[in-house]
Structure 1
């Protein structure tokens, strides 16, 4: 699955990532075990991470019953069933969260949007330093399709992740759309026996850069003990600390 350059990068790596956990949420609309083009692109990410001892789990949220809403457990707010708490346990334990999404009508999938809404349900949760729960975690995204929208989808996903507290590394997104309009999707076998997108240097390079940047930033944050709490602790703010910020002078 990796080319010679990617293999060499893995072989030459000297950084220990063995205590890093990554969760890859494939927000395809296709339940398992149906084929997923997004899954194939996430496979590149997973292969690089596993080669470097990152603990990786890949999940399709569409396989679960995720109730709509912005509360941690929607069964407490009228839903008959809500499997989100099971996924949340995996999200909470992960140092890196990657959302993979296909493009539909220029937008991320409805499954991806629902996942983001449910992540937002935990945006008020804090860690032991009074910071929001996603502080110190790394976010990124992968996008596939055969219509315009990679940057648009990435813009919305990455904004949402950083808004709830994830740290976004440089170039934390990658994708493949091929030619605009109907045509082969990522990983489709072509008439010559090759697979669409696999040999696309732009996609392979960006996917590689994004994966390594997420691993490096996760390593840096873990080694630093997360984000310093000065200036961003809700607990200290409630206690009256204003972190040296005076009230504005309106004279």
Structure 2
């Protein structure tokens, strides 16, 4: 994950009741929306206290809380009311099938528009270890399309540089494009909404970039000479790349088994 995107305020543990940490919390009034938890590590029979604050109260606007599992599945979604002090809180219970995997869970909060968001990371232990399937390249893209992990194609055009690769980041809901450039240039990407949706931010070599035009799902980025990486961040990226590849592989295996069975039947002598 890029340094700028990772620099969002982390989980604030044990802030309540500590004068020094309370003073640090006052600094969060400069942050549009912040979120923290009472601990960082939990087991699968725990309650998680989630607290947060907004810098500018918008009457009637709730905070949307989304919890994402280590397998990139949505565990729960809720909307919280912001009180007159700009604070919000909720309790999460880690019991249940959706919390069964060990690993990092992302608690993402959004206040109003997509740009006002933040997240806290927690760890669950003592449960099941998730298994991840490596994507198998299956889709052939045209020269005017980027291949995203071999699973999806994204139309693009570029001047002033060449694209050397592209991949999806399912944790941060983004597409990362690697380029080689020796002069200033422009790149335009037009992913379908099935691949990437809700585009709201672009990073160039890890820095939030302003020289960007977003028109629906079409993104045009002006980049300087020497740029190596452009990250397009949205609220949705094609889920479970590995699962899609595994499904295709499973269908192929079933076809092979069917053909093998047919071949064996054809070899049985007829009397």
TM above 0.5, yes or no, is: no
TM-score range, shorter chain: under 0.3
More strand by share: 2
Q: When the two structures are superposed, what TM-score results if normalisation uses the length of structure 2?
A: 0.22
Structure possessing the higher relative contact order (Cα contacts under 8 Å, 6 or more residues apart): 1
